């Protein structure tokens, strides 16, 4: 009788251990799936678009720099008509489509946020895009009085936010996969 109790007890402990291990593995797999989705559908695209936009803006600023090295929009002397025409070309061809793509990621994939509430910096991005859409619509009508969005682009804050979340998720992904941590994603 004692051996039956021991056998049943060991079987139950084995079953319980198998069940708990399976549960732990399922939870780990679910977390990995979520992290992969956050990276591939939200933070990865935002990271790539932010970096591309930043590098392109740096190229614009360098190409159209004034003799003191500053671009026409960061200068006390207002931009010339030629500089404004170049800006409109760059903005409508590259910058506005990039920030619209960033906004679209935020609006359509907000369920993949790390945070429980929408971060202020992402709301600022969305507002900035809306401001530029009004400006671009005026350009399309031939009105060139305004050349910037009424709401400023949260560049440094947005870059820091995206890099931090992207790196954090890449590190968690590596941990879940059993790999070493990623030191950092530097430009």
For 136-166, the pLDDT digits (tens) are: 999 999 999 999 999 999 999 999 999 999 9
Q: How far is CA 181 from CA 12, 168, 177, in A?
A: 38, 10, 10
**Angstrom distance (rounded) from CA 140 to CA 151:** 20
Q: What are the φ and ψ backbone dihedral angles of 115, each rounded to 5 degrees?
A: -75, 160
pLDDT score recorded for residue 57: 93
pLDDT score recorded for residue 186: 47
Residue 20 has pLDDT above 70, yes or no: no
**Angstrom distance (rounded) from CA 45 to CA 39:** 8
Residue 5 has pLDDT above 50, yes or no: yes
- pTM here is 0.82
**Angstrom distance (rounded) from CA 99 to CA 153:** 9
Q: What are the φ and ψ backbone dihedral angles of 154, each rounded to 5 degrees?
A: -85, 50
**Angstrom distance (rounded) from CA 161 to CA 97:** 21
The DSSP secondary-structure symbol of 66 reads: -
Which of the four pLDDT bands, split at 50, 70 and 90, describes residue 184?
low
What is the arithmetic mean of pLDDT over 18-29? 71
Q: Please check whether residue 51 is in contact with residue 102, taking contact to mean a CB–CB distance below 8 angstroms.
A: no
Which of the four pLDDT bands, split at 50, 70 and 90, describes residue 1?
confident
- Average pLDDT value over all residues in the chain: 89
Q: How far is CA 177 from CA 23, 29, 158, 170, 171, in A?
A: 17, 9, 28, 10, 10
- Identify which of 135, 127, 134, 133 has the alpha carbon closest to the alpha carbon of residue 152: 127
- Identify which of 22, 33, 25, 23 has the alpha carbon closest to the alpha carbon of residue 172: 33
One-character DSSP codes across 105-127: HHHHSGGG-SSSS--HHHHHHHH
- pLDDT per position as a tens digit, 67-112: 888 888 887 889 999 999 999 999 999 999 999 999 999 999 999 9
What is the arithmetic mean of pLDDT over 45-60? 95
More confident residue, 12 or 49: 49
pLDDT score recorded for residue 187: 41
The two three-digit tokens of residue 87, written as one number: 């800006």
pLDDT score recorded for residue 181: 59
């Amino acid at each position: 009788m004692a051996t039956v109790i021991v056998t049943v007890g060991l079987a139950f402990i084995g079953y319980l251990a198998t069940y708990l291990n399976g549960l732990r593995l399922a939870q780990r797999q679910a977390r990995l799936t979520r992290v992969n989705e956050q990276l591939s559908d939200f933070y990865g695209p935002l990271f790539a678009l932010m970096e591309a936009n930043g590098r392109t803006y740096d190229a614009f600023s360098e190409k159209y720099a004034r003799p003191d090295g500053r671009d026409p929009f960061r200068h006390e002397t207002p931009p010339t008509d030629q500089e404004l025409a170049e800006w409109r070309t760059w903005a409508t061809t590259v910058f506005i489509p990039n920030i619209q793509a960033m906004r679209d990621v935020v609006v359509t994939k907000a369920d993949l946020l790390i945070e429980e509430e929408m971060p202020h910096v992402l709301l600022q991005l969305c507002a900035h895009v809306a401001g530029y859409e009004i400006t671009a619509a005026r350009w399309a009508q031939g009105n060139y009085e305004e050349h910037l969005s009424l709401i400023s682009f949260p560049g440094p804050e947005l870059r820091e936010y995206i890099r931090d979340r992207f790196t954090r998720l890449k590190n968690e992904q590596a941990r879940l996969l059993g790999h070493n941590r990623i030191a950092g994603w530097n430009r």
